[in-house]
Structure 1
Amino acid sequence: MMINGHTQLFGLLAHPAAHSLSPLIHNTSFKATGINGTYLAFDVTPAGLSTSLAAMRVMNIGGFNLSMPLKTAVIPMLDEISPRAARLQAVNTVVNRDGRLFGDSTDGQGFIDALHANGVEVANQTLTVLGAGGAGRAIVAAAIDADAAQINVFKRQNQTFTQVRQQMTRWSPNVAVVAYEDQAAMARSFDDSQIVVNATNVGMAGNQQLPVSQQLMNRLGPQHVVVDVVYFPLLTPFVQAAKQQGSRAANGIGMLVHQAAGSFLEWTGQKMPIQKVVEAVKTEVSHRQK
């Protein structure tokens, strides 16, 4: 579709922004659905954020995605945020509704939707989540909303440990936050869980490490669904090791595309052509790996 006077602009605010797959995801979607929109990446630092939002209002830009640290910095500048964004204190999606800016977080729901797409239900299941950064917290919050029976979160025992544990256990009595260093507790959690998630960045971009010891990996089996939020490389060490144990394992492309689909739906009212987008992303990531 040609860009013309009716084309609606959407974009990403991030620093750095150039490597993002979001333009590929959304422009593939606009083309496939025939929506007259285009999506660009803007390199914006926290210092330039308020000016960018003012421009969004004045120029009637349809919406934006944001990456950290802008996800938190943007909140006081918005007119309204969703309950799930308020709980996480993070916004990854902004919608311009006639000059009123509404913020939401689609990250966690993206994780749940990616599981659903593969026939995996979260309701009544026990999850082990490795890591309690932005991705981990979003996954935990969404798993609570999806009626998970128990969520065991493993977080490094650093200066934010107590604060994060208090925050997450306030969200639900079904959440336990445990020191990452407690290998015995992690082993028990693997045994009790149906779904195991790596929400750390261990294994990203040529890092060959596993987020847990091989002894812990040996506890995984065909009864487990294993998800790595990392998707670069396509076959992460964690996914590879889990497959060797006979587990169903997937990288983070499902979550990446489904969280983007949440934004796309809020901006356009239309569903993203998921399969077409997943193929485009896989092709691009494998191209970048060379």
Structure 2
Amino acid sequence: MIDGHTKLFGFLAHPAAHSLSPLIHNTSFKVTGINGVYLAFDVTSAGLSDSLAAMRTMNIGGFNLSMPLKTDVIPLLDEVTPRAERLQAVNTVVNRDGRLIGDSTDGQGFIDALKANDITLDEKVITVLGSGGAGRAIISAAVDAGAKKVYVFKRTNDLFESRKEQLEAWSNVVEVLPYEDEELMIKAVDQSQIIANSTNIGMAGDKSLPVTPAVLNHLTSNHIVTDAIYFPLETPFIRAAKKQGSHTYNGIGMLVNQAAGSFLEWTGQRMPVDQVIEAVHEAVAQREKK
């Protein structure tokens, strides 16, 4: 029940109404009995500074952000964690007595989702498709988790060389390669135990695959294939990987586990991940029917 002691948390984005974050966190508050409420706020880059001032003034406990606010918020914060500094992206802000501290829990969400299925990245080879926000978070977390090698495939555009320099500077286990080079991608897949799609290919009504048929044919029952996308629940890539016999996981695990990182920082308590995943799965399934 909301009362005078209820702590407010929120999600800042534009648009914000589509977010599953309120469902995730309010389910968590209900299950744990924590007196908190989580709301979505439609905030643009232009309104971000005023929004943060209000957060401090009203002593709001913390909030999440989506792009481009994940980068816009950094100069407005009092402190950022090393992993957020590395990524130059913040998805979680904690208000500690008026000091706003930014962190990135996205990559750890990927690691924790795998760990929940008894999968670790220690000494594993992983191929990451894409190097956008989700991809960089996965790459950074894979390095920290002890991956033996991280192959990253990025489109060869004007950003290719600068992105390659940035990511390969993180660790000598990271190698950035042209997305269009089918032969190199096949070699990487053959060496990898984990294939992670971080692109938006296959989202919503998109029937496309993030790899060519030739690359797809190299997926086997020895591969773990993940997709950062959770809508639809089964992307074309996940469906195709299943037919190859691979072990597959959609983006709900990463989504909920990154939120669990925020929840822990805000409340000091662990999120009831299993119950939340069940609620999110049901909500996405309902959206798919519409």
Query: Match for residue 227 of structure 2?
Result: 228
State the shift of 1:15 in Å: 0.6
Query: Match for residue 273 of structure 1?
Result: 272
State the shift of 1:213 in Å: 1.0
Distance in structure 1 (CA, Å) of the matches to 2:2 and 2:35: 7
The AA in structure 1 aligned to 2:139 is: V
State the shift of 1:106 in Å: 0.1
State the shift of 1:170 in Å: 0.5
Query: Match for residue 113 of structure 2?
Result: 114
Distance in structure 1 (CA, Å) of the matches to 2:43 and 2:213: 40
Distance in structure 2 (CA, Å) of the matches to 1:73 and 1:160: 20
The AA in structure 2 aligned to 1:217 is: L
The AA in structure 1 aligned to 2:150 is: I
User: How much is the aligned-residue C-alpha RMSD, in angstroms?
Assistant: 0.4
Query: Match for residue 86 of structure 1?
Result: 85
Query: Match for residue 16 of structure 1?
Result: 15
Query: Match for residue 139 of structure 1?
Result: 138
Distance in structure 2 (CA, Å) of the matches to 1:167 and 1:215: 29
Indicate yes or no: 2:170 matched with 1:171.
yes
Unaligned runs of 5+ in 1: none
Distance in structure 2 (CA, Å) of the matches to 1:27 and 1:185: 45
The AA in structure 1 aligned to 2:8 is: L
Q: Map Cα deviations across residues 118-159 of structure 1 (whole Å, 9 max, x no partner).
A: 011100000000000000000000000000000000000011
The AA in structure 2 aligned to 1:216 is: V
Distance in structure 1 (CA, Å) of the matches to 2:143 and 2:246: 23
Distance in structure 2 (CA, Å) of the matches to 1:214 and 1:262: 36
Indicate yes or no: 2:62 matched with 1:63.
yes
Query: Match for residue 156 of structure 1?
Result: 155
The AA in structure 2 aligned to 1:62 is: G
The AA in structure 2 aligned to 1:134 is: G
Of all paired residues, the percent bearing the same amino acid is 67
Distance in structure 1 (CA, Å) of the matches to 2:240 and 2:119: 20
State the shift of 1:214 in Å: 1.6
The AA in structure 1 aligned to 2:210 is: P
The AA in structure 2 aligned to 1:240 is: R
The AA in structure 2 aligned to 1:9 is: L
Q: Map Cα deviations across residues 50-105 of structure 1 (whole Å, 9 max, x no partner).
A: 00000000000000000000000000000000000000000000000000000000
Distance in structure 2 (CA, Å) of the matches to 1:121 and 1:261: 18
Q: In structure 2, the residue corresponding to 1:151 is in which secondary structure?
A: strand
State the shift of 1:185 in Å: 0.3
Q: In structure 2, the residue corresponding to 1:261 is in which secondary structure?
A: helix
The residue correspondences of 1:45-60 to structure 2 (distance < 5 A) are: 45-60=44-59
The residue correspondences of 1:181-260 to structure 2 (distance < 5 A) are: 181-260=180-259
State the shift of 1:215 in Å: 1.6
Distance in structure 1 (CA, Å) of the matches to 2:185 and 2:212: 10
State the shift of 1:250 in Å: 0.6
The AA in structure 1 aligned to 2:102 is: G
Alignment size in residue pairs:
289
State the shift of 1:230 in Å: 0.5
Distance in structure 1 (CA, Å) of the matches to 2:125 and 2:14: 36
Q: In structure 2, the residue corresponding to 1:176 is in which secondary structure?
A: strand
Q: Map Cα deviations across residues 232-285 of structure 1 (whole Å, 9 max, x no partner).
A: 000110111011100000100000000000000000000000000000000000
Distance in structure 1 (CA, Å) of the matches to 2:162 and 2:42: 31
Unaligned runs of 5+ in 2: none
Question: Structure 2-normalised TM-score?
Answer: 0.99
Query: Match for residue 29 of structure 1?
Result: 28
Query: Match for residue 7 of structure 1?
Result: 6
The residue correspondences of 1:119-130 to structure 2 (distance < 5 A) are: 119-130=118-129
Q: In structure 2, the residue corresponding to 1:13 is in which secondary structure?
A: strand
Q: In structure 2, the residue corresponding to 1:165 is in which secondary structure?
A: helix
Q: In structure 2, the residue corresponding to 1:110 is in which secondary structure?
A: helix
Distance in structure 2 (CA, Å) of the matches to 1:83 and 1:153: 22
Question: Structure 1-normalised TM-score?
Answer: 0.99
Structure 1 outlier segments of 4+, above 6 Å? none
